[in-house]
Chain A
Amino acid sequence: MGEQQAVLGEQQAVLDVQNLRVGFRSGRETTTVVDGVGFTLEPGRCLALVGESGSGKSVTARSILGLAGQNATVTADRLVVGTKNVLTLSVRQLRGLRGADVGLVLQDALVSLDPLRTVGREIADALRLHTRLSPGERSARVQQLLVDVGVPQPEFRARQRSGELSGGLRQRALIASAIALDPPLLIADEPTTALDTTVQEQILLLLERLKREGTAVLLISHDLAVVGRIADRIAVMTDGRIVEQGPADRVLGDPQHEYTKRLIRAVPAGRPRGTPLAPAAAPEVEPEVAPATAADAHAVRREGGAERGARLAGKDGGGGRTAGAPALEAHGLVKSYRNPDGSRRVVVDDVSLSLARGQTLGLVGESGSGKTTTARLVLGLTAPDAGTVALGGAPWSILSERERRPERRRIGAIYQDPLGSFDPRWTVREILTDALTDGRSTRDRGQLPALTELLDSVGLAGSLADRRPLHLSGGQRQRVAIARALAPQPDILVCDEPVSALDVSVQAQVLDLLDELQRERGLSYLFISHDLGVVQHMSDTVAVMLDGRIVESGPSATLFANPADPYTRRLLAASPRLA
């Protein structure tokens, strides 16, 4: 293996980029998006460009294909694919480059494939445009390609349209069309970002196989853990520059640049509960603590939180709430919906949950597993077909909406898409004033002191109060959503994929904030996510959902150390983590 790599290493590079600069003109101003980027890529190797949104990684990839855009200025000392200088190619020659010399796989296969044409025709397109194969030969090649990328029943699948395929199959079909002409270079731009963990695993294995077979892969991703699986070299990008580049093991194991260190530190997978992920909230010097010690320290803190939670509950413990009861208890929840053909589809099937006061219950599962429906049942937004939900020992799901309404302040929610959860007409001040005044007013007469306090507690500057959420960053929006949920002083927060749409370092800050708020206020979280790493980092107990059922649940530490259910094991094995 080592010998083979050495031989490969001497081969001529498939891709040679030196001092690439890309600027975008708007009006008279030019914004530099890529600023002096350089790397080379040999056959059978994988280079990963890692960075957060706006770092310039996608623009870099597009420039290689001559797709940077109309108003872009691309300059470089070298920008060579194989033997072709991309900078001097005509529009026509660039078209020849795409597909034949470079295959491109994009993140969103649903929009990258034409919904009105069959998958087989989409894949055959490249063959039709670039080769002289007969229709018979083309269809045989399409079948072979689908087999190659691991699509079962290729003849049947080739006749389907992209909307009829699952996310994983769609992404495979897209890869098949990208490799149809055996391009020596494959550019994959966030190829697994929208996919479930187990599907992501399959796609990564496929990319790895293509790499072994000699294709050079330029992998673009925001996810260090994903990249660590298949990349030989990693280049870390921020603000249009590569700040660190080197062999994958070295970059991940012994990062040199401050930004790389921060990125790696922000990955929640495998980091003990309660450890801060972002530097701002962390103490200046924090020695790497052994997991056992961290767990102990955390347990102590947790106890403190639980005590406080119990005390808070005791203080206003009227309304039939029992002091010792868990913050939230769901028993035997069932929910089904009617299909268009009249049959019933069971979405949540006999789900029981118990969330202790001041603790976090992680609910993990892939898309369609019934996580969000469970959240809606817990929040009292839909009525269960069977089963009950109790809050602090008092009935909740069996109440009528009129009876439940005054009690709603006890349970809040934050969502994956905070922007959609805000009235588009309202400023941050109006959103929070509304929440603080129980919906009586959005007019903040004479600056509510509670508003300043609230903004402060979620780490937002007061100067943002008069902005609309549309003009805030993703992390700021989620902070506003958290502030709004906190305004009525709830005991429980239901967090439905709260960090899935955020960059790693922003995700780290939001997770740290949630942790800190839990400690300070004794909050109980029902934390829903598809991301095992995030759930592991955040939860005291974890429940794993599959097809509407909870297949396994238990204390976080035990469950992740000794998963009992085969599905949990599969999920854990598929979940990429840093070595």
Chain B
Amino acid sequence: MSGSAGAPLLPLAASTAHQPSGARRALAHLHVAEVIAGLILLFLLVAALAPQLLTATDPLAIAPASAFTPPSPGHPFGTDESGRDIFTRVVYGARSSLLIGVAATGIGLVLALVLGSLAGLGPRAVDFGVNRLLEVLFAFPGLLLALLFITIFGVGVTTSTIAVGLATAPGYARIIRSQIRSIRGSGFIEAAVVLGRSPGQIFRRSILPNVAAGLFALATLGVGQAIVWASALSFLGLGAVPPAAEWGAMLSAGRTYISVAWWLTFFPGLFVVLAAASATVLGRGLQRRNRER
């Protein structure tokens, strides 16, 4: 008491001297795989936001004369049956793939947050009801659920995005529910009640942020999965429709020529794998870091 009474309030200088800053510590613990994954996602992000920076060609411009050109300096990924540059199409395809992946995951998370919070915070009857609903949803494979939704609401990018979101929601909902349950019983929630916080305040300021911390890593993993699913739906002709530059659709179209022109399917397929793998590597890294904290 006596010693600290006059201590100046300049805490930053003192504390940073002992602990390395957050950024430096994070860099020190980065794995090579995570750096590569980050670079790939950065490339895809640039491709999605400003594809013109990476290629000057139009993804839809056809040039029948140069159809089926194998990978060459002029066309690094080759050209397709109409002479369209595959590299350009893959670059432009990043936008719809990432958008579908992020949007689908977002839809799934929002839905899961509602269901999970209801189950985690609500009375026992609500918890029971939500759990049974989740079990029913779990009983169907996700893709089947998505197909059902598309059958009802029609083919298209929007419906397939929503469909993928719906299919992933039950998994997230379960995790959110159990996390809320464990946080609800912890000491700091009781401390907040004793301080006179309302249930709304406690949910917003204590429960939600603590759930979100773990969810962010999970969502990164989910984006990768959603990209694969969306490509699968497009491949089946239920998502993006040709001639749109979308990886799943390109795979589907190239399948016909797989024996004569491997590059039609190889490069879109490679990018589906790269995107999904990068998201997974980063997601796992985030999860590990959360655990360590």
User: What is A's interface to B at a CB cutoff of 8 Å?
Assistant: 280-281, 379, 381, 405-409, 411-413, 415, 417, 420-425, 434-435, 438-439, 442, 447, 452, 455-456, 459-467, 484, 488, 513
Contact = CB atoms under 8 A, between A and B. Distances in A.
A409 B196 contact: yes
Contacts of B205: 434, 439, 442
Nearest to A413: B194
Contacts of B7: 461-463
Contacts, number: 91
Contact of A462 (B2, B4, B187): B4
14 contacts: A280-B2, A281-B1, A379-B194, A405-B196, A412-B195, A413-B191, A420-B187, A422-B187, A435-B195, A439-B197, A456-B1, A463-B9, A465-B9, A466-B12
Nearest to A405: B196
Given A379-B194, A408-B196, A462-B8, 8 more contacts: A415-B191, A422-B188, A423-B206, A424-B210, A434-B195, A456-B1, A461-B7, A488-B195
A417 B9 CA distance: 28
Interface residues on B, range: 20 to 34
Which A-B residue pairs are the 9 nearest by beta carbons?
A408-B196, A420-B187, A459-B1, A421-B187, A462-B9, A463-B11, A461-B4, A421-B191, A463-B14
Interface in B4-32: 4-5, 7-12, 14-15
B4 A417 contact: no
Given A466-B11, A467-B15, A423 B210 contact: yes
A526 to B, nearest CB: 13
A200 to B, nearest CB: 26
Contacts of B10: 462-463
Contacts of A455: 4
Given A420-B186, A456-B1, A463-B7, A381 B14 contact: no
B190 A381 contact: yes
A468 to B, nearest CB: 9
B209 interface: yes
A344 to B, nearest CB: 19
Interface in B156-207: 186-188, 190-198, 201, 205-206
A434 B195 CA distance: 10
Nearest to A414: B191
Contact of B5 (A425, A434, A456, A466): A456
A466 B11 CA distance: 7
From B2, B9, B195, name the one whose CB has the most chain A CB atoms within 10 angstroms.
Answer: B195
B213 interface: yes
Nearest to A379: B194
Contact of A421 (B11, B14, B188): B188
Given A280-B2, A447-B9, A466 B191 contact: no
